[in-house]
Amino acid sequence: MIDYTKYKGLSGTNITTYNYKQFINKIGISKLPPALLKGHQFYSKNIDLFDTNTSIADTINDYLTDLNNYVAALPKNKQDAIFFEDNGYSQNKFTGSKYKLTQNLKTAEIAKLVKKELDILHGDYAKFSVTSDLFAGGSSIRVEILNFTKFNPFTEEYTQSLLNNEPYEIFRGSYNRQPAPKKTNEQFEKFINEVNKVLNQYNFDDSDSQTDYYHVNYYSSVVFDEMAFKKIHYPNHPEVIAHVKYWADVESKKKKSSEVAAQRKGIFKKDEIVYFLGYLHESWHKYKLPLSEFYLVKIIKSPNGRSAYNNNYLVRILMPVNSLKESTLNFYKKIGRDKNFIQHKFGTFNQSDQSLSVYEHALFSTDLAPKQIAILKAKQLAAIILK
């Protein structure tokens, strides 16, 4: 039996065979006294026999008792460092080396730091796109490797498949084959891990997927743009040819769509006053307006030309207050709609700093064909409203 009497009689803590590995590294094996160091060596060599050999179990239990007494005699701050480290909700919290220094930075600012560091470390043979995003559940940083020239990132099997111009389905084989064969080799996966280390040194992760609990500084991802590499090294591969053709078609359709939208786009802007030559229903007679005449309208929303079903303006018809019947005017005042009686000043028409009182009526939709409308000049406005 090893002599541990030097440490007996001190108040114990609670290191057991269940948590020994967790705490022994925090205590520091190299800092153990010689007698406890021998106990640690005995423990490591014989722990597999703990449940089957009573003599070994007794020796290990005595060692753990003395180890607990030794820790209990340490200063409180050292005990706290061993037993009370914040392991978070998950008890497996990860904290990046630069998190505390940057925890008050916005995700977009951290993304810039990540980009700068990646360019310094790997910029000679890789190009990176680092983007951040904000959403209801938090934020994220995505690192995309756009170009990689240091070595071939693909496995020999997948490289040969590409040289043979085989589609991925042939390389993949039966979908009953699990797991799927890897595309990238171990050397490139190590490089991805290095990129992840740079990305996550500003992060912390206290998530526990088993309880569906997620708590991070930001979500992170690293992706490799395989197509950019294939375009350079395997330009005749069917996937590359199809990819190039697809995006060429997309750009062509976008260009045509923009040209059509430009032709259909509204020529009048929001809040512009125009006059409209159109038919209004006879129920409008209470406003003393002719059934077929020029009507003043205010543009509320102008079409952008991209709608496939509706290219109308949203407008309000404007009428002089004095065109309303007195009973109608009193009714609107009674229900508080008199707030919609607003003052419009129309340029040169206000030579004496006078204003024109008009009423904005309900919204309606119209195509406002260019032949039917025009921007109303001040004199024309005065002529129509004061007619």
The predicted structure's pLDDT at residue 85: 60
Cβ-in-10-Å burial (0-12, 13-18, 19+) of 293 comes to middle
What does DSSP say about strands 219-224 and 138-148: parallel, antiparallel, or unpaired? Answer: parallel
The predicted structure's pLDDT at residue 329: 56
**pLDDT (tens digit per residue) in 275-320:** 655 555 555 555 544 444 555 667 788 888 887 777 777 777 666 5
**pLDDT (tens digit per residue) in 197-249:** 999 999 988 888 888 888 899 999 999 999 999 999 999 999 999 999 999 99
β-bridge mates for residue 357, sequence order: 343
Q: Under 8 Å CB-to-CB from 322, ≥6 apart: which residues?
A: 357
In the DSSP assignment, the letter for residue 161 is: H
**pLDDT (tens digit per residue) in 352-374:** 333 444 444 555 566 555 444 44
| Nearest alpha carbon to residue 153 among 229, 243, 235, 232 | 229
The predicted structure's pLDDT at residue 87: 67
Between the alpha carbon of residue 381 and those of residues 266, 320, 346, the distances in Å are 22, 11, 8
Q: What is the pTM of this model?
A: 0.55
Could you tell me where the beta strands, DSSP code E, fall in the chain? 94-95, 126-135, 138-148, 204-205, 219-224, 273-279, 292-301, 313-320, 341-344, 356-366, 373-375
Q: Under 8 Å CB-to-CB from 316, ≥6 apart: which residues?
A: 297, 298, 300, 360, 361, 362, 363, 364
The predicted structure's pLDDT at residue 24: 85
